[in-house]
């Protein structure tokens, strides 16, 4: 925990601001730094200073700023929880949509295949060649990059590309 978060947590400890205490005191996964940073920015804004000047704010003013920031901190936490809920629903919908296995299995299948091919090209083939004096031919890295890029394009932008093609054909 940063020194600034420790100072604010100490000041918030005596006040009835449970959301700020939770955000600054608990671990909220990978987003804890981002959420705590937003809360610190809000407290600094309420105190009328920049975040790096918060340690110099008088205790009474800091307490007032923390109390004033509590509603905004609650909103940030609610937004984070809602975002997580929507992400979980999206992932669950992907799993529940049913249908033949090939309609969804191509993505993890290609990920594992490409991962193995990169491992083979960069690690396994050179090790086998060095250990056994073999001369196994290398896969062309340019071809492997094109294959990986094509997969990534389909995986991450397939629907966007299809929508763009449809709009282009419709003359929009």
pLDDT value at residue 119: 95
pLDDT value at residue 20: 62
- The CA distances from residue 111 to 1, 124, 128, 149, in Å, are 36, 18, 24, 12
- Residue 16, CB-side half-sphere exposure with 13 Å CA sphere: 0
- The alpha carbon of residue 19 and the mean position of all alpha carbons in its chain are separated, in whole angstroms, by 22
Interatomic CA distance for residues 91 and 156, integer angstroms: 15
Q: What is the pLDDT along the chain (172 residues), one digit of tens a residue?
A: 455 556 565 555 555 455 665 666 554 444 556 777 788 788 888 889 887 787 788 888 888 888 888 888 888 888 888 988 998 988 788 777 777 777 778 888 999 999 999 999 999 999 999 999 988 888 899 999 999 998 888 887 777 777 888 888 888 6
Q: Are residues 59 and 7 in contact, defined by beta-carbon separation less than 8 angstroms? A: no
pLDDT value at residue 38: 81
Provide φ and ψ at 133, rounded to 5°.
65, 20
- The CA distances from residue 124 to 45, 98, 118, in Å, are 55, 37, 9
pLDDT value at residue 130: 93
Q: Are residues 119 and 111 in contact, defined by beta-carbon separation less than 8 angstroms? A: no
Model-level pTM? 0.44
Q: Other CB atoms closer than 10 Å to residue 151's CB: what's the count?
A: 16
């Amino acid at each position: 925990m940063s020194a600034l978060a420790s100072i604010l947590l100490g000041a918030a400890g005596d006040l009835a601001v449970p959301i700020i205490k939770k955000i600054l005191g608990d671990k909220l996964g990978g987003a804890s730094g981002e959420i705590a940073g937003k809360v610190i920015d809000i407290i600094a804004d309420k105190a009328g200073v920049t975040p790096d000047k918060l340690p110099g704010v008088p205790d009474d003013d800091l307490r007032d700023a923390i109390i004033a920031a509590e509603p905004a901190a609650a909103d940030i936490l609610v937004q984070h929880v809602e975002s997580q809920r929507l992400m979980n629903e999206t992932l669950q919908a992907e799993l529940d949509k049913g249908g033949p296995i090939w309609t969804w299995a191509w993505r993890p299948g290609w990920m594992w295949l490409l991962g193995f091919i990169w491992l083979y090209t960069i690690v396994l083939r050179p090790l086998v060649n060095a250990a056994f004096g073999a001369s196994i031919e290398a896969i062309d890295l340019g071809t492997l990059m094109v294959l990986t890029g094509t997969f990534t394009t389909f995986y991450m932008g397939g629907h966007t590309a299809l929508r763009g093609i449809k709009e282009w054909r419709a003359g929009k």
